[in-house]
Amino acid sequence: MKAYLDIIRKVLDKGIKKDDRTGVGTIAIAGAMFEHDMADGFPLITTKSVPFRLVASELEFFIKGITDKKWLQDRDNHIWDEWCTPMVILYAHDEETKKKMMAERDLGPLYGWQWRHFGAEYKNYKTDYTGKGVDQLKKIVDKLKSNPTDRRMICMAWNPVDIEKVSPPFCHYGFQVTVIDGRLNLLWSQRSCDVALGLPFNIASYALLLHLLAKETGFKEGKLVGFIADTHIYLNHIEGLKEQLKRKPFSLSKLKTENFKSIFEWKYTDSKVEGYEHHPRIKFEIAV
């Protein structure tokens, strides 16, 4: 997909070396934009393999507002294994702390919890938050059905009150939905972006969310747009990304969702990509 590969090229060509929280080191640029028309296919990167099952199960986790990473682990999704809430284990790089973070289940009030319970007081993953806070996702769905020309269909994850309760705090911190000419568009904003590992997941996840919102409301699928601030490549990812740039992209896959009743009843197994042709996996180490 050219839009993603162009971002890689831009960071490799113009990125400036910059220290970072993880100690690995990056090259970074200030600002990039991703844009894709969903009519051209589902934007699952083809120059390497991206596991759609993990993208979809994480999105179901977010939509449900769950904060217990065991829910993901029970579905063989381990992308959040290394993280936990600083309310229980303070973030640090030493091996003992990393082991404690791995063992802790509570992720804190992260993305999906903010989508469904913004402004509520977070206590722990065991608490029932039904009816607590602002259900931003439901408000967007209701507004799409009652007044789709509204320009205030915004969902925020960035809550300053909760920044110290999650690690890392809300890389993609908000999204907005617009309807223009009968097509539903989703635009997300991101403060920090790991181009090799994070961005392919972010693209696929928000594309899937756009797809589900369109099915919920009956609109055609429109544009997916991402606004990215600190756009960076970790130094140990550079060679892998150079390898990706040598590969010729395949045609994009199609997304099919069956048995759909509501976005709030949707399960990740209801959606599948068809015709996903891709190059072999490239292993990128996660920077914790």
Annotated catalytic sites, by residue? Answer: 171
Query: What is d(CA 69, CA 73) in angstroms, rounded to the nearest whole number?
Result: 6
What would you report as the CA-atom Rg of the chain, rounded to the nearest whole angstrom? 18
Q: Which long-range contacts (CB under 8 A, 24 or more apart) does 40-43 make?
A: 40/252, 41/251, 41/252, 41/253, 41/254, 42/204, 42/207, 42/211, 42/252, 42/253, 42/254, 42/255, 42/273, 43/1, 43/3, 43/4, 43/203, 43/204, 43/207, 43/224, 43/252
Query: What is d(CA 288, CA 83) in angstroms, rounded to the nearest whole number?
Result: 8
Query: What is d(CA 165, CA 153) in angstroms, rounded to the nearest whole number?
Result: 26
Spatial neighbors of 52 by CB under 8 A, at least 6 apart, are 44, 204, 272, 273, 276
| Angle at 111 (CA atoms; ends 3, 163), nearest 5 degrees | 110
- Beta-strand (E) ranges in the chain? 16-18, 26-37, 154-156, 172-180, 183-194, 220-234, 254-257, 271-274
